[in-house]
Structure 1
């Protein structure tokens, strides 16, 4: 049975048991239940990538069915200026093609397929554009979108804001935009001043001084850089702390560790696990 069908078959039973999919090391009822409006955000990292090809329409659909707070989408720009969902600079790791996204037109990108092996069966799906994702979900989901420089230049911000405005997502406060590039976030702020923005820090490069001073309401930190002092200091400044995880092998342990610090958001590769430890 493929990851996709495992996810789909178990989704109707989520209200009965959050331990249906994946390995759970936290016992049922071990944490006090958190009211939804006060709960940390559960952000589906590249969709439900535990069960299906990352950053695909199906992965996002599965994640949406689990009731996550946001769908995390990494943006790359094609040679002809189209925005697609792809984490890596190249398509080598996740598709049957090779090369940089920026070296291909959208038509050429669409000739490749995302690939994943499950029980010796190859699962394939096309690489989606951001427009196709928005067309699928419209205002039924919240989006957590990552921008980046394109060949060192600010290139995707105006295109992104036009798309968000076209689907009226900014008016509904359904979008958070994150980036490691402060320059990119400042351009977004100039184009759409009321959009929630999150400044990301790379592993090992976190600066509490900078995080406190920047005019962004959310700070994204790699889990191993998170301490109680950092969370407390940023909370004093009225900022939220959203945590991402590089190492899947230690992610569950790290999620439990940072939970004790009362962080405000989890970029999770293990949706059910995160929901269970948070008791939501």
Structure 2
């Protein structure tokens, strides 16, 4: 009888140990589950078509990027056009500040030949034209900025996004280096997800005070890849902030992408959509 009792105790202990081990393992598995890194097409598919043009965005949509990324500039007649630079010089056959021209004047420019002759007469497009083409069939990652150091584009932008139903359908994220721009958007519509872009040179600058300040209006931050590692990503996640990565060093972008995706970045602004997709698949 005594031997039977000892045997039963041993069995119960073994079952309990296995159960505990499984429970710990399951929790660990849940904790270590990889973040799905979102593919954000930087200025469209700008490796194969002139940046921020309809052709570049068309390729990005075809490649099934999670987001189309774009920069806003305001014209003389207050239209929101898609262009990164403040001037026309680099990506069109025009010269001068975008803000000095009306949309009608800008539409006469060639925005494609600089990239490749086959894109001759590609036109500058407005944000509304892009939305009219793709609607809610894709998502938009839109960068705002101050115009002549003033907050001008926020109200017309939110009005347009509301009109097209993109905020309600959760099809848009707005990003900016300007905290003032994001704060104004947050006051206009608290439902818009916002990302604070940063140009910090050191990880020490991501202080608890700074994170607390960002969390008042933003759901995430944008960081140069050279500062990104698992420790920084974990710090952001513990503070309920997502981390999106951009690449200031073009030559190292591909190798850096692999590193930050494996570290658990929430999204990457990629200039190589198909390459990034291969990385996100292999990291699952």
Higher fraction of helix: 2
Shift of 1:123: 3.6
Runs of 5+ consecutive residues of structure 2 not aligned to the other structure: 1-33
Please give the alpha-carbon distance, in whole angstroms, between the structure 1 residues aligned to 2:117 and 2:45. Answer: 20
2:236/2:243 contact within 8 Å kept: yes
Q: How does 1:1-280 map to 2 (within 5 A)?
A: 39-116=36-113, 123-202=120-199, 204=201, 207-209=205-207, 210-215=210-215, 216-279=218-281
Q: 1:150 to 1:205 in 2, by over 3 A?
A: farther
Higher fraction of strand: 1
Bigger Cα displacement from structure 2, 244-253 vs 134-143 = 244-253
Shift of 1:118: 6.2
Which has the higher Rg, Structure 1 or Structure 2? 2
2:110/2:120 contact within 8 Å kept: no
Bigger Cα displacement from structure 2, 124-133 vs 204-213 = 204-213
> Which structure exhibits the higher relative contact order, with contacts defined as CA atoms closer than 8 Å and separated by 6 or more residues?
1
1:53/1:123 contact within 8 Å kept: no
Partner of 2:22: none
TM-score normalised by structure 1 residue count:
0.83
TM-score normalised by structure 2 residue count:
0.82
Please give the alpha-carbon distance, in whole angstroms, between the structure 1 residues aligned to 2:202 and 2:150. Answer: 22
Q: Deviations over 1:3-32 (max 9, x none)?
A: xxxxxxxxxxxxxxxxxxxxxxxxxxxxxx
Please give the alpha-carbon distance, in whole angstroms, between the structure 1 residues aligned to 2:258 and 2:171. Answer: 27
Please give the alpha-carbon distance, in whole angstroms, between the structure 2 residues aligned to 1:264 and 1:101. Answer: 33
Please give the alpha-carbon distance, in whole angstroms, between the structure 2 residues aligned to 1:271 and 1:75. Answer: 22
**Secondary structure at the counterpart of residue 128 of structure 2:** helix
Q: 1:106 to 1:118 in 2, by over 3 A?
A: closer
Q: Deviations over 1:102-123 (max 9, x none)?
A: 1111111111121345676564
1:203/1:224 contact within 8 Å kept: no
Runs of 5+ consecutive residues of structure 1 not aligned to the other structure: 1-36
